[in-house]
Structure 1
Amino acid sequence: PGAPGAPGAPDGPAAGFVAAMNAGDPQAIDHVYEDGAVLVPVPGHPVTGPARLAANQHLQSFGLPIEARPRHSYVAGDIALLIVDWSMRGTARDGTEIDMSGTATDVVRRGPDGRWRYVIDNPHGTA
């Protein structure tokens, strides 16, 4: 399946998300998702498509680095469940203090190109 964090590894989308977020590239972030993937930016309120991109751009607008540490990866064929600890802390561009963290429960799928992409990105885990 590839080295941890590599595009060909199940936890590759987490590493790709962090790299794209920290580079300030919203289009690169969207490439770690399947076209119809769901993001749950607020518990109980899944979004997809342009709303997914907007939610990630909002997070990116803070101008803070995000850290993610995959804790578990459970693979069944071309589907995997990822448990990922993440955090974003510091002073945002507008002067607001940000202290966000959580444990994500994410579902990824390996595409025909061998890359894993998010199908469900739930940064709030069980919330």
Structure 2
Amino acid sequence: MSPAVTDPAALPVLFQNALNAGDVDGVLALFAPGAGMRTVSGEQIAGAEELRTEIAGTVAAHGRLTNASRHTLVGAETALLVTDWTMEIDGPGGERIAPTGTTANIAHRDAAGSWRFTLLNPLGTA
């Protein structure tokens, strides 16, 4: 089990560091049970197995994420995390591509005081 995340603003950097290290379990530890996300292709996924498949695919494509926090808004044990990102990744033809975007992610503080992602939306408002 990973250490408690006491500041929701730390989540994007922790996600970035775990992903860049190829640590699929470390990335998944940042998600609350039952969490979901919208993938960069627009598909909605939820649950540990679907998240594992998505994250493992990014690691397999040699994903290298850079996150830059824009806003962290906190209220009622919930945080909205707006983060600019760049993901260097191997494209379908083996070429290196670097899509960018702005996330609109939601995190929740659990009863133990630890913050975890509940929803990731790397496409932001798109």
Identify the TM-score tier after normalising by the shorter chain: 0.7 to 0.9
1:78 is aligned to 77
For residues 39-50 of structure 1, what are the structure 2 equivalents within 5 Å?
39-42=37-40, 44-49=42-47, 50=49
Equivalent position to 1:34, from 18, 32, 35: 32
Q: Give aligned-pair identity as a percent.
A: 29
Deviates further, 115-124 or 56-65 = 56-65
Paired residues, what number? Answer: 121
Give CA-to-partner distance per residue, 1:77-127, whole Å, 9 cap, x none.
3101110001112657x7322211110000100112222111110001012
Q: Is the 8 A contact 1:67 1:87 kept in 2?
A: yes
Whether 1:101 aligns to 2:100 is yes
After TM superposition, the runs of 4+ consecutive aligned structure 1 residues lying more than 6 A away are none
Q: Residues 61 and 89 of structure 2 are in contact (CA less than 8 Å); yes or no, is this contact kept in structure 1?
A: no
**Secondary structure, aligned partner of 2:51:** helix
Q: Please give the TM-score of this superposition, normalised by the length of structure 2.
A: 0.86
1:116/1:95 CA distance change after superposition, 3 Å = same
Point out the more displaced range, 24-33 or 55-64: 55-64
Q: Which residue of 2 aligns with 1:22?
A: 20
Q: Distance in 2 between matches of 1:64 and 1:106?
A: 19
